[in-house]
Amino acid sequence: MQPLLISFAAATSALIVASSTIQGASGYFQPNSTGIKLQNGYERVYIQPFGNHGMRVRASIMRDPTGNEWSALLDPPIEGPGGNNGLGHDITVPYQGNATIRNGNLTASITLGVLSFFRVEPNGSTTLLTKEFTDTKAILPRFYTQDFRSSSFQSQFDFASDPDEQFYGAGQQACCMDHSVNKKGQVVDLINYNSHVTLPVYMSNKGYLQYFNMPSEGRIEFGTLRTRHVASEATVVDYYITTAAPGDYDALQRQFTAVTGRQPTPPDFILGYQQSKLRYFNQTQILDLAQRFHDEEVNVSLIVVDFFAWKYQGDWSFNPEFWPDPAEMAAKVKSLTGAEMMVSLWPSMEDLSINYLPTQMQGILATTKDGTGVSDSFAGVYTRLIDSTNPAAREFLWKRLNDSYYSAGIHNFWIDQADGGTLGEAFENNGQPITQMPWARAFSQYFIGTQEAAGKMYPWFHQQAINEGFSNLTGKDISTQCEHMSLTRSTFVGGQRFCSYLWSGDTDSTFDVLLQQITAGVSVGASGISSWTVFAFLTKITETVQGRELFVRWLGMGVFLPYRPCLIEVCRDRVCSLPLDPRQVIANPCPNEPWSYGEANFVIIKKYIALRYQLKPYVKRLFEMLQQTGKTIMRPLYYDFSLTDPFVVNGTKTNDYTIIHQFMQGPRLLIAPVGELGATTKDVYLPILSDEAKSQGFTWTHWWTDKDFGTGGKLVNVDAPLDEIPVFYLGSKDDILSGSV
Ligand SMILES: *[C@@H]1O[C@H](CO)[C@@H](O)[C@H](O)[C@H]1NC(C)=O
Ligand SMILES: *[C@@H]1O[C@H](CO)[C@@H](O)[C@H](O)[C@H]1NC(C)=O
Ligand SMILES: *[C@@H]1O[C@H](CO)[C@@H](O)[C@H](O)[C@H]1NC(C)=O
Ligand SMILES: *[C@@H]1O[C@H](CO)[C@@H](O)[C@H](O)[C@H]1NC(C)=O
Ligand SMILES: *[C@@H]1O[C@H](CO)[C@@H](O)[C@H](O)[C@H]1NC(C)=O
Ligand SMILES: *[C@@H]1O[C@H](CO)[C@@H](O)[C@H](O)[C@H]1NC(C)=O
Ligand SMILES: *[C@@H]1O[C@H](CO)[C@@H](O)[C@H](O)[C@H]1NC(C)=O
Ligand SMILES: *[C@@H]1O[C@H](CO)[C@@H](O)[C@H](O)[C@H]1NC(C)=O
Ligand SMILES: *[C@@H]1O[C@H](CO)[C@@H](O)[C@H](O)[C@H]1NC(C)=O
């Protein structure tokens, strides 16, 4: 079928309703308009002030957006003007019109129908940030393709960019060869699957952040001269842009999280050590495990029960054959170790589940274009997906989770495999992997729309289900402080507002991927999602000396990540010669507890776990700052050093490993993980400190020896034995350990 192409450029003659303009008392320039509507034939574009120094733009064809399309934007924003305004506007610009409005330091101008954004500088001059990309004979910057069978369209929006501009964020691409912090030159696919949590948001080193408030699949192309956002299916193109002084990434994050949500502070236990494996398959094993942690005097804060503790997929309960008394188990774990428990939750539903008929009858399973709803197969059965985008499905799911787990004292949930479309893996035909089949296939249909139009937010609604459950059950406001957590393999923009934390998916446990994970983590942090940790999955952790070394290196890095030093999957999957239990689905019997990597390593592992507990006050403080102002926890070097260190700017631009394989944890710690087998020393780049840091007397000080290495601007070589991950600190160690930063 031939699609109809509809596209637009532009307009004359302005019909401007001026509104008054006042410089606020704080020096903040209050919006001088409630919004512009450009009526461009059958296209319309709304531009409204939104949040501090921000604008929201919505564009549609044939009809106005309903205003009820799904949105991760908080309306009104937590901070700043705008919001509560629907499609309100006081300026109407017809075909070929001009108009300019200002909010704080951001102005939006329509000139002959083309939209540009400027920052107003302190001296009153303006700097062009970006504009809709136009050129002689170039495809029009707002481009829509409509399929006559539906009232939606595919959109393609182009924005001008400078050849040497840098772009950061775009969510998590954890795939193996993508060691990048600067995304310029890349194509980022907006689709979810295991370890791929790309997000339609990026920051520019020119001092702006742009976010496409659309759950559509599609892609972002960071081309030489233009940045293109493509949405596979939409009824409105909805984006937000905000500006700050170049180099002030904390301000961009503050403004962005004020319109998309702030991470509530986590309960203390998520800052400690967490133990899991693939998998403990019965209650006795968990009790033995807790007893051993108790006897070895190793701190543990969370013990996790992985998948297939259920009898049938979709039961959302323990199989009583192997888990006779969950409440007793949780109570014993708590009394022996103080640890909380977590269980895995999959979205898949098989026909034999007790929940199959009720969910099918209520229409709360996702369906497919062929009507069957079958979207995957796993462990020998075909499965459907619970449609968590439907409020009734969320209520149903939570009721089961409450009955089976929460009321038994197991309060934390691991949202695994809920990437949407399928189970987020290469399609399996009854257990036979066909690895070249596409992942999230586009034929799923949800309450909120199709996989193409809305599938990016399927995981987000699972987070919401559990969040609502917590808050309904406890009757507490959990928007700023959490008592429980969910752990999730995927999310969408705004997912940070939940008591829910992202991990990087089932990545390979190799040294190369260990380093790559740093770039994935800082990129997702630059997208507003700061509570993040790594896993390393699959079969590379073996009984060999090398495998154990990799494990310890990985654990060392985990100590300095926002949460969870023992990355469950590292700790979860080992290869050994023990046989699998034939009664169990994928239950690796190989030991993976801290004491199972040899005596010498156990000493090191205990040292790292103890260090993590020592650092808890610091990490807690970082989460408080995240909650208050959206300040990113895991920080790429450009955040803190682009204004002082040209080498950081250059290295970030070219994705130089010297720069992008290091990160700051909060404002005081620089981490340079070792990503090489057998290394005994490590070259670490110490960035040039700002005048402000110098005036506080800060110097780079080696964590393990307290040796002073000066104010930066040089590569240094430090000892890096297995028990001493290279770390440098600023200021006093006592302040760091007591959390007074
Ligand atoms: C709109 O702006 C353009 C470019 O500055 C100018 O050529 C045109 O005359 C303006 N139109 C109106 C109606 O002011
Ligand atoms: C708003 O302020 C900007 C910058 O001062 C100005 O260019 C623009 O014309 C004003 N718009 C209105 C509608 O007052
Ligand atoms: C105003 O400030 C901008 C940004 O700092 C700078 O590029 C420009 O040169 C300044 N203009 C004047 C006239 O000082
Ligand atoms: C932006 O506006 C604030 C007032 O809210 C002002 O203090 C600041 O200097 C401005 N920043 C830039 C880069 O113009
Ligand atoms: C639980 O697992 C242990 C192996 O760790 C096994 O010896 C025991 O028989 C299992 N119990 C049940 C009820 O399966
Ligand atoms: C939480 O309570 C609200 C209000 O009663 C209800 O609409 C919602 O479905 C509940 N959520 C869950 C997950 O039970
Ligand atoms: C949660 O479970 C408890 C115990 O079974 C029950 O009393 C309570 O009503 C349940 N709450 C919800 C919201 O289902
Ligand atoms: C275990 O955790 C407690 C509470 O955080 C702490 O006081 C204690 O020092 C920790 N023990 C070790 C060995 O790290
Ligand atoms: C940055 O790179 C440019 C060339 O790309 C080079 O001229 C300059 O010396 C570099 N600066 C630093 C501080 O590395």
Q: Which atom from ligand 8 is nearest to the alpha carbon of 297?
A: 13
* CA 207 / ligand 7 centre spacing (Å): 49
Q: What are 376's two structure tokens?
A: 């995957």
Q: Please choose from 52, 103, 105 the residue to mutate so as to test ligand 4's pocket, defined by most ligand atoms within 8 A of CB.
A: 105
Nearest CA to ligand 2 atom 10: 101
CB 401 within 8 A of CB 173: no
The answer to whether residue 189 is catalytic is no
CA of 399 to the centre of ligand 6 (A): 10
Q: Do domains 268-629 and 636-738 have the same CATH topology?
A: no
Say what the pTM is.
0.94
Query: Which atom of ligand 6 is least distant from the CA of 391?
Result: 9
CA 332-266-632 angle, 5° bins = 145
pLDDT tier for residue 130 given thresholds of 50, 70 and 90: very high
Measure 223 CA to ligand 8 centroid, in angstroms.
51
Residue 461 has pLDDT above 80, yes or no: yes
Which distant-in-sequence residues (6+ apart) come within 8 Å of 427 by Cβ? 376, 377, 433, 434, 437, 438, 439, 441
Output the CATH code of domain 268-629. 3.20.20.80
Residues pairing with 275 in the sheet: 303
Q: Is the peptide bond before 433 cis (omega within 30 degrees of 0)?
A: no
Q: Are strands 302-305 and 340-345 parallel, antiparallel or unpaired?
A: parallel
pLDDT band at 699 (very low <50, low <70, confident <90, very high): very high
Structure confidence by residue, pLDDT tens digits, 612-638: 999 999 999 999 999 999 999 999 999
C-alpha–C-alpha distance, residues 180 and 342, integer Å: 33
Sign of CA dihedral 171, 177, 182, 187: negative
Q: What is the pLDDT of residues 215-238, one digit of tens each?
A: 999 999 999 999 999 999 999 999
Could you tell me the residue ranges of all domains in the chain? 268-629, 636-738
pLDDT value of residue 492: 98
Is-catalytic flag, 147?
Answer: no
Tell me which residue has its CA closest to atom 5 in ligand 5. Answer: 285
Helix (H) or strand (E) holding 691: helix 691-695
Spell out which residues line ligand 5, taking CB within 6 angstroms: 282, 284-285, 322
Beta bridge mates, 48: 56
Domain 636-738 in this protein, CATH class: mainly beta
Per-residue pLDDT, 542 = 61
User: Of 118, 53, 117, 49, which Cα lies nearest the Cα of 88?
Assistant: 49
Per-residue model confidence as pLDDT tens digits over 64-109: 998 778 899 999 999 999 999 999 999 999 988 999 999 999 999 9
Q: What is the dihedral of CA 673, 675, 678, 681, to 10 degrees?
A: -40
Q: Single out the catalytic residue among 238, 376, 416, 573.
A: 416
Of the candidates 567, 566, 611, the residue with the CA atom closest to the CA atom of residue 704:
611
Closest ligand 1 atom to Cα of 112: 1
Report residue 56's pLDDT band, with 50, 70 and 90 as the boundaries: very high
